[in-house]
Structure 1
Amino acid sequence: MSNSDVIYLFDPLCGWCYGAAPMLDKLAASGVRVELLPTGLFSGAGARPMDEGFAAHAWANDQRIERLTGQAFTQPYQHNVLGIRGTLLDSHAATLGISAAGLEDPSRRWTALKAIQRARYVDGRDIVTVEGVAAVLGGAGMMDAAAILKSPTETLLTAHLDLVNRGRALFQRLHANGVPSLAVIRNEAPRLIGSNALFGSFDNLVAHIAAA
């Protein structure tokens, strides 16, 4: 499987993407090259305020993800993230932080994404502001990414825009229903793997990739 190229379409505020993290770890450990592309799904026009109805819906969904994947959604997350009214569900800062982390080494996007997900869903921390994301990146040993996130360079902003545009374009080309989504590249043509494959057995996921 080492010759496979897999593209992972995600948003850092997507609970299902957090649920899929262990499967992505297994894929990478098996030798599959996985490229992360953010779709910007919950940023810009996709951002929304945290209100009572949305918080209740999100928590119910999160409990389902936890039962299915074993990924923890904690009380600090419920109280300090879902329980705070007036905040925006906006993934721009988190996505920009992931772009900053991967500016010189794209493999660090995955490290940054996992740190951001853990900060939100386990520790109940703020990852919707630049300051909050910078603190998470710094705590994960990526002080360089934290610094450039707080004072973005033209290089970062251009690279970030390119990443998100590529993610959105692929998402639309594949007619994907949502994130997380996987695409396998064969002869420069992407093929969509249904997100359900990320939540079954690893052998099943491997079979889907091989058959794509």
Structure 2
Amino acid sequence: MRVTYLVDPLCGWCNDAGPALEKLARRDDVTLEFAPTGLFAGEGARSMDAQFAAYAWQNDERIARLTGQPFSEVYRSRVLGKTGCMFDSAPATLGLVAVRVTEPTREFEALKAIQRARYVDGRDIGSLPEVGDILRSIGLPAAAERVRTLDDELTQAYRRQIEAARSEMQRFGISGVPALLVGDGTERHLLRGNLLFGRLDLFVSQLQAA
């Protein structure tokens, strides 16, 4: 069973879907692939100000209450408190695409490292040099170098990925992430991302019924 996970590294709900995805990825009957959507890149990016930071933290607190996943005070002070910076998922998404190009089997590992860097360690994943440092720290120097140089191949791969993911979002009427597509090609079916925050056995039964 192929499961495509529509994600954005700046989505708090996507961060907290990690435990369910870990369990899903370990199943022998599931092939998990990632589709970064660039939801908060390009026209979806915006500058960070005090009002938006307060809104983001309020939403993060709600997510933490519902899922039990942490959002650290370091993240609150160093990331949300850094007014004037950009809320832009393009650098982190470029990092994920660079991993796909160089070591595709480690894409999930890279996503988790990037999310942890932001939400736990309070690092700015809206910065290309920071994303490169994160990738290098988990032993992905080739991907880190691709992020640093931003060669044409990586840029084109990034654009293709975003276009493909957004095409699927339009096809299935998806307005936000996380979301899951089950199956291949024209046989794909949509499962809403809220299933990732319940019991795994119920989630798997929904996957098998899709």
Shorter-chain-normalised TM-score: which range? over 0.9
Shift of 1:162: 1.4
Task: With the length of structure 2 as denominator, give the TM-score of the two structures.
Answer: 0.95
User: Which residue in the other structure is 1:23 paired with?
Assistant: 20
Q: How does 1:60-71 map to 2 (within 5 A)?
A: 60-71=58-69
1:5 counterpart = 2:2? yes
Matches within 5 A, 1:1-212: 4-31=1-28, 32-185=30-183, 188-212=186-210
Deviations 1:20-57 (A, max 9, x none): 01111110011211110011100000001111121111
Q: What is the Cα deviation at residue 104 of structure 1?
A: 3.2
Quote the sequence identity (%).
Answer: 47
TM-score using structure 1 length: 0.95
Q: Report deviation, 1:110.
A: 1.1
Offset at residue 186 of structure 1 (A)? 5.1
| Shift of residue 67, structure 1, vs aligned partner | 2.2
Give the number of aligned pairs. Answer: 209
Moved over 4 A (4+): none
Opposite residue 112 of structure 1, the aligned amino acid is A
Partner-residue secondary structure (3-state), 2:102: coil
Query: Over aligned residue pairs, what C-alpha RMSD do you find?
Result: 1.2
Structure number with the higher helix fraction is 2
**Aligned-partner Cα distance in 2 for 1:46–1:124:** 22
Is the Cα contact below 8 Å between 1:90 and 1:128 reproduced in 2?
A: yes
